[in-house]
Amino acid sequence: MKWFPEYNFILASKSPRRQQLLKSLDIDFSVQTREVEENYPDHLSREEVPVYLAKLKAAAFKTELKENDLLITADTVVCLGDRVLGKPAGYNEAFSMLSDLSGKNHQVITGVCLTSRSKQNSFYSVSEVTFKALTKEEIDYYILNYKPYDKAGAYGIQEWLGTIGINHIEGSFYNVMGLPIQKLYEMIKKF
């Protein structure tokens, strides 16, 4: 038996982490992606940014959805104070981001959008993460070995740096991985 057999789920994400997390809900889904410029207006609050980007990703599919399709789009940002950290462009930016996060608290915010032909619901989840003070050698080792250029804030909680560097997390661990799976499950039930 699979959950929610009435839907044909589509996950619009190349992220292996999001795919793994959605599989853990025991639902069948296909993966489809569209190239979308991930730009957002400057006036948005930190919480609005990933929701806006998730909706932007959904808009690329709107005319293609069939009757029973349920599209899941998501975006994750890392926030340090008022700064929104996206994906680093290269080594230097990744090193700078991780140096800034070192020894501090930051928030990971994931926006999720559920879209069908007739309606759309979106939500976000916030997790508070505390890093230990990282050495330059630890940051360098992580970037060179894990190449976190596809990750907001330049790190993956499930990778080496998360294992050795995170002192405390408040909120959903899965949200920090990129998909607040518990909240997503409840939102699909309400959809």
CA angle 43, 88, 56 (to 5 degrees): 45
Using alpha carbons, list the distances in angstroms from residue 71 to 31, 146, 165, 173, 174: 10, 30, 34, 23, 19
Of the candidates 75, 100, 140, 150, the residue annotated as catalytic is: 75
Rounded to whole angstroms, the Cα distance separating 33 from 74 reads 12
| 75 is known as an active-site residue | yes
Most distant pair of Cα atoms in the chain: their distance: 53
Query: What is the 3-state secondary structure of 1-50?
Result: CCCCCCCEEEECCCCHHHHHHHHCCCCCEEECCCCCCCCCCCCCCCCHHH
Rounded to whole angstroms, the Cα distance separating 151 from 19 reads 15
Residue 115 lies in a domain: yes
Rounded to whole angstroms, the Cα distance separating 42 from 51 reads 14
* End-to-end CA separation in angstroms for the chain: 20
Residue 2 lies in a domain: no
Residue 17 half-sphere exposure toward CB, CA atoms < 13 A: 20
In a structure prediction context, what are the per-residue pLDDT tens digits for the chain, which is 191 residues long? 678 888 999 999 999 999 999 999 999 999 999 999 988 999 999 999 999 999 999 999 989 999 999 999 999 999 999 899 989 999 999 999 999 999 999 999 999 999 999 999 999 999 999 999 999 999 999 999 999 999 999 999 999 999 999 999 999 999 999 999 999 999 999 99
Residue 58 lies in a domain: yes
What's the CATH number where 109 sits?
A: 3.90.950.10
Strand partners, 74: 112
Residue 3 lies in a domain: no
Q: In which domain, by residue range, is 174 found?
A: 8-190
Residue 69 lies in a domain: yes
Rounded to whole angstroms, the Cα distance separating 43 from 147 reads 31
- Domain count along the chain: 1
Helices (H), ranges, 75-116 = 91-101
